[in-house]
Chain A
Amino acid sequence: MEPGYLLALTTGILGGFGHCIGMCGPLVASYTLASPSAGVHLLINRMPPHLLYNLGRITTYAIIGGIMGISGSFVNVAGRIAGIQNIVAIAAGVMMIGMGLNIAGVRGNLEWIDKRNITVLRAAQKVLRSPSPLRYYPLGLLLGLLPCGLSYTVFIASAGTGGLLSGMLTSLLFGIGTLPAILLFGIVITFLSPTLRGRIYRAGGVIVIIMGVYFLYQGMRLYVDL
């Protein structure tokens, strides 16, 4: 394996535990806690959402890496997708707040969302309410667009390869490298979630709401340069 590809894979593995769990962990915790209850013995049945979410996320990385590679310029591509990324950060915050309120048991008071035609909120509602486990793939595709310093560093390397396939492969290997950390985190949360739905279920919801507000703030800050 070429050193650049090995470096991307290693960056994913190390960064997955050192960066991604802190930054993306709350998102994983949100969709895991908000999904239907299942016992620990059904862990194998709870894997598809995590696998589909990560598959979506890695697909996005590979596509961005390919675009970076073919353009040869990180700054140009990053500048073009910055607006979309900031909107995704805001949408992620809204989703997390919605999921957190749901977990905390105050979902009944959210009818005002249904009465308002706010695109981002309605899109978040659709994702939250869809019964299909396949929803986690587009969720991963979308959240793979979140602004992330670690993935930016890999995209710089992708742009430096100067080719579509090499750029794509660099980012793909990075994404695969992050898989163990995010997957493990999701499994741990899955293990905790049936228990969390008991006495400390609401506390978990409050934590998710706090993290959602934080994502929302960061997204808006990036968007309007607060």
Chain B
Amino acid sequence: MRDSRWKYLVPMVMAFGIMSIAVLTTAASPENRPACDIQQAPCVAHTVDNTRIELDILPRPIRAMTDLTFVVSLSKNGKPIADALIQIDLTMPGMSMGKNQVRLKMVSNGRYEGQGIITRCMSGRKNWKADVVANHAGKAVEADFIFEVK
């Protein structure tokens, strides 16, 4: 009875150690690498219906734990899209960081701005994902942007 208990306990403890280290030291996997360098310039994505979503985060360098301005420029076929409802969900790939959402307001035709904060993770990871969701004329378009903060 005692021996069979050990048979399970040893792998459990080893698994705990390995999992803890893995969780805390996970480097950015290939899919988590920045698709574009938003530290240098705005990032752009095109949806299947040809909507252009441009995301910029200011001021640069983009640092965690500071007030940031999120700027989204929305257009379709070269024409700006006005009066859209835009929100950005900020998440860290592979790590639960709670719901961190930024709501944007239109500041000019097709240009939207909102204030938000990117938090710091003690694991040392700096890769974040901004999921931009724009609702306009009863339709929602969405684009993900992966980037790193300083």
Residues of A within 8 A of B (CB): 7, 11, 14-15, 18-19, 22-23, 25-26, 29, 74-75, 78-79, 82, 89, 146-150, 152-154, 156, 192, 195-196, 199-200, 203-204, 207, 210-211, 214, 218, 221-222
Contacts and interface: CB of A to CB of B under 8 A. Distances in A.
Given A199-B6, A200-B13, A210-B17, A148 B23 contact: no
Interface residues of B, number: 32
B117 A156 contact: yes
Indicate the member of B17, B21, B25, B92 with the most A CB atoms within 10 Å: B17
Given A79-B65, A156-B117, A195 B9 contact: yes
B139 interface: no
B20 A25 contact: yes
Contact of B100 (A153, A200, A222): A153
- Identify the 7 closest CB pairs spanning chains A and B, nearest first: A153-B98, A18-B96, A22-B23, A152-B119, A149-B121, A207-B17, A19-B96
A146 B20 contact: no
Given A78-B65, A218-B123, A203 B96 contact: no
Interface string B63-101: 001110000000000000000000000001001111110
A11 B100 CA distance: 11
A147 B96 contact: no
A129 to B, nearest CB: 26
Contact of A218 (B5, B12, B98, B122): B122
A192 B13 contact: yes
Contacts of A200: 9-10, 13
Where chain A touches its partner, the secondary structure class is: helix
Nearest to A82: B65
Contacts of A23: 23-24, 122-123
B13 A15 contact: no
6 contacts: A147-B120, A149-B97, A195-B9, A200-B13, A211-B24, A214-B21
Given A192-B12, A199-B6, A211-B20, A148 B66 contact: no
Indicate the member of A22, A75, A156 with the most B CB atoms within 10 Å: A22
Contacts of B10: 200
A150 B20 contact: no
A152 B9 contact: no
A147 B117 CA distance: 15
Contacts of B99: 7, 11, 153
A207 B10 CA distance: 13
A197 to B, nearest CB: 12
Contacts of B122: 23, 89, 146-149, 218, 222
Contacts of A18: 95-96
Nearest to A208: B17
B9 A149 contact: no
Nearest to A174: B98
